[in-house]
Structure 1
Amino acid sequence: MSLRDLGFDAVQEGVYRSLLADPLRDNSTLASLTLTDESAVRNALAGLLALGVVEVAATAPCGYAPGDPEVVVGELIERLEQETLRRQQKIGGTRTELAGLAAGFRHDARTVEVEHITEPERIRERLAELCFFTRSSVYAVQPARASSEAARAEASRLDNRSLGRGVTMRIIYDERVLRAERTRARLGERTASGAQIRFLPGPLARLILLDERIAIVPSDPTDAGSGALVVHQPGIVSELVARFRQLWDGAQDFAEPAGTPSDDDRSVLRMLASGLTDELVARQIGVSVRHLRRRIARLMDELGADSRFQAGMAAARRGWI
């Protein structure tokens, strides 16, 4: 671990590590070891005092004594984690304001109940804009028709970003996509991240629903080059949501291979077993607490456990942790 990740500069880290190795070193020795001068050492010691990892000690040759690193560095990490959480909450709270700003910026779009976009790049850009402000759900129907590598990469990026915020994601695929081993592996990764996936016999028409308020559909399902329609009209969107629910209820669940947890699942189980809180685990793997708790519930179900303690024991027996 580099202490610079915790706010130390290079000289502070060198001085601190040197003091931990020998608390009786004076400023001259510390300057020699860190390839600096005594003025830089004094400044570094003052910075370490501000970080809370050393304390004034009149009997120490350099005037400062390092605290127990397990305690003082641990406390520093905890303070930084709390500050990071406050910043995340503050940043998250701006989403409502951003939505208002975007609505004002796109004043013309509010009066347009259906947007017709023809350029593929612009379709991806518009979808990214809309997904950024999605708060609760993404529903999609994906046909078997092959898409470009760029489109797949962008879809994966948007899905991961939404799942990381705790957005509910349900996707219905044409069952023919299961013929490709690569696709099955990709879908397995997506379900491990929290997406719910089902299958129906094709052919299927592409559909995306965001927060049950906006729909994206092909302009002409028989012509891939015809572009997309972004539908805001509540009546049409409501009908499309109802249609999606009918399809979802009749679709087949995606069966993942048993006993093959993802790396993230293993990390979650290990961190929970070590006693970390949900909030800390969620920050470690970069997801929301709501998303993490859904993942934990899924893991408990896979392990046949009624409690987290039982899940930990079952995971250990299977060699998952």
Structure 2
Amino acid sequence: MESRIDSDEVSRPSVQPQTLALGQEAEVRRLIERTATALRDMAGEFEHLGDSLGRTPPPPQPDVASYTLEYLTEPEKIAEALSDAAAVAVTEILSTHPGPVPPDAELAAELKRTRHARARDVVVRSVYGECYFKSPNGAKHLRSLTGLGVQVRLLGSVPLRLIVSDGLTMFSGPEDDGLAVLRPELITRAARRVLEYWWVTATPLDDLVDRLRESPTPQEQAILRLMSAGVRDEVIAREIGVSIRTLRRTLAAVMDKLGAENRFQAGIKAVARGWL
């Protein structure tokens, strides 16, 4: 018998479209689940980040003092730091130098740094220990500095090396080979006050030179003392070990310093100036 196919059966939809629809829905659901999982993970990361930020200290405010500190011991690093400090100076460099007088190479390096700063019209004021003035190399160095326009003053004792250049502070002890480099505004202001105090109490180099030029030498002081005591020229010359001619020439120079017209005036003015 020949089988017949019902027309309704032919028009009935096949199973495959229904299967594809279910697969697509499952895939969409899996995509939604993956997306939800990713969003939850992102939310957790943001929450963790927020907690971390809450535990992190806030950045320093502008009015909170902060600073950096370096302590240099290698000569090359110290020379580089000193050169950088002079190179970045804009307005003024203040410094103290306790001594002893450093070697010629260091003095030459200081002159070079100072020359570059002065070429930019940076004001340079320095207080040196009097040991510089008493040393031939030190005195020559001070003359070279003044020739560059540096304002130099002298103190009998300078306790430490101190340099203030704009917002930078550098210092070391008198017997310390290292150099501390700080960049705090607060300490810079304090160091500047200390330097200004030493500057006011120090003696200008020119004034000291004039004073020493006018003061009597030990030989001249001995002549004045013996002359005021009424000792004769021949005895004075023998006492100090010079000839009569040298004695009288030296006495004339002392009278010229005092502005005295005769020996009597010389004795009075020497007492008044504290030379006797």
TM-score by length of 2: 0.49
Q: Which has the higher contact order (CA 8 A, sep 6+)?
A: 2
TM-score by length of 1: 0.42
